[in-house]
Chains A and B, each alone.
Chain A
Amino acid sequence: MIYREAGQFKTSYGADQAVFPIWQDRWFVLLGVAAAFIVPPLLADEYWLQAVLIPLLVYALAAIGLNLLTGYAGQLSLGTGGFMAVGAYSAFKLTTAFPQVNILLVFLLSGLVAAGVGLVFGIPSLRIKGFYLAVATLASQFFLIWLFNKMPWFVNYASSGTITAPNRTVLGVLVTGPNATAPMRYLVALALVVAGALVAKNLVRGRVGRSWMAIRDRDIAAEIIGVHPLRTKLLAFGISSFYCGVAGAELVFLFLGSAETLAFDINQSFLVLFMVIIGGLGSILGSFLGAAFIVLTPIFLTNAPHAIGLSLPVALLKQIELMVFGGLILFFLIVEPHGLARLWQIAKEKLRLWPFPH
């Protein structure tokens, strides 16, 4: 009754091709974004912003990036952690070399650096497919992490081997560094992820996105109808790495504050891949849902025993956490292999018919 597109006639091409053609969707998204900008900075406390919301937004951006590559272009990649590291380290190098440059510009530039690296490591995808490619992308993961570990130049010869976010301001307000407030960092992360999602949403419904999906669904057929595989695959790698690079820079500058290569190890790649798959392959909304699931589950699992007054040894807790996490992933894959985004679609379908069953 409430959610129904009947009667919404489109009278112009513009209206027909809108990102959200149904007004309920449009308002829902607009209100959701507005609420995300206003409510948490006012209501959420330091813990919620720092431990939950900021990582959620950062990982959502990385998940969007990987989703473009794996969900839309069909190229399985396990190198996400490496590309995030490229973004983080180049942001650090750029902002320490040119302190006067706006930090947001630095984020975008480091995304571009990551995109360049992604292009290089995307080259094998022209010849290798499927799991062979997935394993081949692991090469980039290991090589990049090794490189950042070995070359002291990347950490400005700091003896600790860590990169630290310096104090940087946007429009006179401190947004990174140890003194930046959590609400400010949250707002920057939110602005970036909203912009990223909007661009991604537009990318995947345009010519680029369609050529990606054509390559994903059947690459030879796509080639025959004139989709250039080289250009398409490399573009997917480049744009995906751009997102991952920006997310990596955010991870250090907005969330962790300081990090070493350990923050970008292989587990990071798997986590982002989990987000994409649990959320839903080929869905921008799914990237957010997946990121929320993967970020919230461990927090929930850590706090649940406390909440019910159970005190267990730390080691046991850690093991139970692992088991439940693995079990939940299996459970979700079995119940809904198309991810949380599909559940949302089903819910919308139900809303459309409500109050009738069929």
Chain B
Amino acid sequence: MTEILRAVAVAPFQDMAGSPAFLVEVLIGGVFAGLMYSLVALGFVLIFKASGVFNFAQGVMVLFAALTLVGLMERGVPVAVALGLTTAVMVALAFVIERLVLRPLVNQEHIILFMATIGLNFFLEGFGEMAWGANVKKLDIGIPDRSFMVQGVQVNELELTAALTSAVLVVILAVFFHRTRIGRALRAVADDHEAALSVGIPLKTIWVIVWSVAGLVAIVAGIMWGAKSGVQFSLSLIALKALPVLILGGFTSVPGAIVGGLIIGVGEKLGEVYWGPLVGGAIENWFAYVVALAFLLVRPQGLFGERIIERV
């Protein structure tokens, strides 16, 4: 019994204290991984905030954006033009989704809309692969993938770029949400659909905008993930990675997605490196969920979610 207790509660911390440089490396790896998760989680948050739709298809949107970009570049389109075209495709997608899926389902229960996005998930998956092919592709838009040492700690340039990109993205989104006219309208819609409609905010336009923005976030996430691990089907599974981030940070909070991503990323790496071997490894699939669950038991609305006030 004491053996087990020691292995779980003491030995990992001794390991950490034993080689601080390695610990820092693990932590940095966790931070970067977390920011990558945040990029995906951001797309979820945007759509949930503005339309109350739990968009399960966000992961596939990331895949779809990356596939489109790579597909265009493979056909010899220059990077800048390809990026522009991909953006156009994602905006067009937002229009189509709003017109064909959201509008007929307006006022339905949340679970129905959730199911609809899973249907969308299947459709986009098939469509993307049909249009661009299913084999693994390399995405290279000139982000260097080299590692360098800072005071004995290994840092990867690609991960650094991803971290900076998501930081910039969050700042832009924060400004967009709080300082612009459309941002205010978005928040109004998120707060109360009917009240927003009654003061003349066009709900349908707002939905198209928010799905477009989620599409843009998907492009960024697609570039980062695609550069890291190639553009392939498994990219759509990162949605499952982003979900614990989402419930940890709260469905409605942009900063929550970032902080949640960091906690999950760091927690996951620490758990995997120091506690994983105790139970035979490969715990990254569920460890994040358990971390998120533990937080949720204390705060059911997530770290930054709006406080749930319940009335009869």
Asked if B243 and A138 sit within 8 Å, CB to CB, the answer is yes
Residues of B with C-beta under 8 A to A324: 126
Tell whether A143 pairs with B296 under 8 Å between CB atoms, given A326-B120, A330-B120.
Answer: no
Residues of A with C-beta under 8 A to B115: 273-274, 277, 329, 333
Residues of B with C-beta under 8 A to A329: 115-116, 118-119, 122
| B140 at interface by CB-CB < 8 Å | no
Residues of B with C-beta under 8 A to A135: 243-244, 246-247, 289, 292
| A157 at interface by CB-CB < 8 Å | no
Residues of B with C-beta under 8 A to A328: 119
Asked if B126 and A322 sit within 8 Å, CB to CB, the answer is yes
Bound CA–CA A276/B64 (angstroms): 28
Q: How far is the CB of B101 from chain A (nearest CB, A)?
A: 6
Which one of A59-67, A124-132, A193-201, A230-238 contacts B? A124-132
Asked if A142 and B282 sit within 8 Å, CB to CB, the answer is no
- Residue from the list B112, B126, B240, B282 in contact with A333, Cβ < 8 A: B112
| B212 at interface by CB-CB < 8 Å | no
- Residue from the list A70, A127, A139, A337 in contact with B112, Cβ < 8 A: A337
Q: Which B47-81 residues have C-beta < 8 A from chain A? A: 54
Asked if A326 and B124 sit within 8 Å, CB to CB, the answer is yes
| B285 at interface by CB-CB < 8 Å | yes
Asked if A323 and B127 sit within 8 Å, CB to CB, the answer is yes
Q: How far is the CB of A96 from chain B (nearest CB, A)?
A: 23
Residues of B with C-beta under 8 A to A221: 312
Q: Which B104-127 residues have C-beta < 8 A from chain A? A: 104-105, 108-112, 114-116, 118-127
Residues of A with C-beta under 8 A to B127: 319, 323
A76, A138, A224 — most chain B CB neighbours (10 Å): A138
- Residue from the list B110, B112, B126, B289 in contact with A138, Cβ < 8 A: B289
Tell whether A143 pairs with B289 under 8 Å between CB atoms, given A76-B111, A334-B104.
Answer: yes
Residue of B nearest to A224 (CB): B312
Tell whether A146 pairs with B282 under 8 Å between CB atoms, given A323-B123, A327-B119, A329-B118.
Answer: yes
Bound CA–CA A311/B258 (angstroms): 48
B54, B126, B302 — most chain A CB neighbours (10 Å): B126
Bound CA–CA A149/B54 (angstroms): 30
Q: Can you pick out 29 interface pairs between chain A and chain B where the beta carbons lie within 8 Å of each other?
A: A124-B293, A127-B296, A132-B300, A134-B114, A135-B247, A135-B289, A136-B296, A139-B290, A139-B293, A142-B285, A142-B286, A150-B279, A220-B312, A270-B118, A274-B115, A316-B130, A318-B126, A319-B129, A321-B126, A322-B126, A325-B122, A326-B119, A326-B121, A328-B119, A330-B120, A333-B119, A334-B104, A334-B116, A337-B112
Interface residues of A, Cβ cutoff 8 Å to B: 70, 76, 124, 127-132, 134-136, 138-139, 142-143, 145-146, 149-150, 218, 220-221, 224, 266, 270, 273-274, 277, 281, 315-316, 318-330, 333-334, 337
Interface residues of B, Cβ cutoff 8 Å to A: 54, 100-101, 104-105, 108-112, 114-116, 118-127, 129-130, 134, 240, 243-244, 246-247, 251, 279-280, 282-283, 285-286, 289-290, 292-293, 296-297, 300-302, 308, 310-312
